[in-house]
Amino acid sequence: MTTWEKTSPELEFSEDFIDIWLINLAEEENDIFNHQRYLSVEEKTRASRYLSGKKSREFMITRSSLRNIIGYVLNEDPRQLGFAYTSSGMPLLDLNWSHTDITFNVSHSHDLAIIAVSIKNIIGIDVEMVRKDIEYEKLSKRFFSELEHQQIMGFDETSRLEAFFSTWTRKEALVKATGTGIAYGLNKFDVSVDPDQPAELLDNRWEDGCQPRWSLLNIETWPDYKACLAVAGKEMPTIRYWKL
C-alpha cells in the first residue's frame, strides 16, 4: 500500500527522483479563494468558461496547486510562472523558463488530481475514476488494439471494468509522455491489461521507429481509481509520494 506523506520542507530534487502529489479537490474547495489568487488572468478567464461550477473550481485548484509545486521546486513566486501549451493542450513552462530542466504532467478525475514532477525525465501521468456508467466494451473496441480488446473481454464481467480503466490510464499516461495525446492513436501500441499485474508496454507500431524505451508504473491512489505513470527509459527512477 502506497503511503502519501505531507510534503517535506527539506525536499531536494534531482533526475534520480520523480515526485508525485495527490490533491483532494473536494477538500481544497474550502480554500478556493486562496487558490484563485495564484492564477493568471488567462487562467481565471479559462475557468470562467466552464459551464459547470464544479469543473471550474477543479481547474482552478489543480492549476493553483501546479503553480505552487513548480514554484516550490524552482524557489520562485508561483504567480510569476508562465505556461504555454502543446498542440494536444498539455501545459508546459513557457520560453521564459526554458533554462530549467523541470518536467511535469497533470491529470484529474472527479475529486482527485495528481501531479508528477521531475528533473530532465520525460514523464506522463493519468488518473481515472472507475465509473460504471460508460460503455467500456464499445470504447475498448474503438480505441484499443485488437489484442487489448480481446484480453479485456476475456475477463469475467465483474473484472472487465477495472481492466478497461487500467488499460486506459496506462495508454493515456504513455501518449501524454510522448506529447502527442490520444489523437496519435491508442491502437498503435499494446500495454498489459490485467489490473493486478505490473503496467508494461508490450509492443508498439510507431511509424518513426525512434521512440525511446518506456517504463510504466501503476500508482495507488484512492479506492475505485486507477492511475499510471509513464517514464522514458529502461529504468524507473525512485518515486516519492506526497499530498498537499
pLDDT at 184: 67
Q: Average model confidence (pLDDT) for the chain?
A: 92
CATH label of the domain that carries residue 89: 3.90.470.20
pLDDT band at 98 (very low <50, low <70, confident <90, very high): confident
User: Do 82 and 154 sit in the same domain of this protein?
Assistant: no
User: Do 76 and 130 sit in the same domain of this protein?
Assistant: no
Q: Tell me which of 121, 139, 170 is where a domain ends.
A: 121
pLDDT at 72 over 80: yes
Q: Tell me which of 94, 121, 148 is where a domain ends.
A: 121
pLDDT at 206: 73
Domain assignment present for 182: yes
- What letters, b where the CB count within 10 A reaches 16 and e where it falls short, cover 138-172? eebeebbbeebbebbeebeeeebbbbbbbbbbbbb
DSSP string, the chain: -PPPEEPPTT----TTEEEEEEEEHHHHGGGHHHHHTT--HHHHHHHHT-SSHHHHHHHHHHHHHHHHHHHHHHTS-GGG--EEE-TT--EEE-GGGTT--EEEEEEEETTEEEEEEEES--EEEEEEE--SSS-HHHHHHHHS-HHHHHHHHTS-HHHHHHHHHHHHHHHHHHHHHHT--GGG-GGGEEE---TTS---EEEE--SSS-PPPEEEEE---STTEEEEEEEESSSPPEEEEEE-
157-193 pLDDT, tens digit per residue, is: 889 999 999 999 999 999 999 887 666 688 999 999 9
26-68 pLDDT, tens digit per residue, is: 999 999 999 999 999 999 999 999 999 999 999 999 999 999 9
**Number of domains composing the chain:** 2
% pLDDT > 90, the chain: 78
pLDDT at 182: 67
Domain membership of residue 193 as a residue range: 126-243
Of 20 and 213, the one with more pLDDT: 20
Average pLDDT for 228-239: 94
Closest listed residue to residue 165, CA positions, set 204, 145, 188, 139: 139
pLDDT at 143: 94
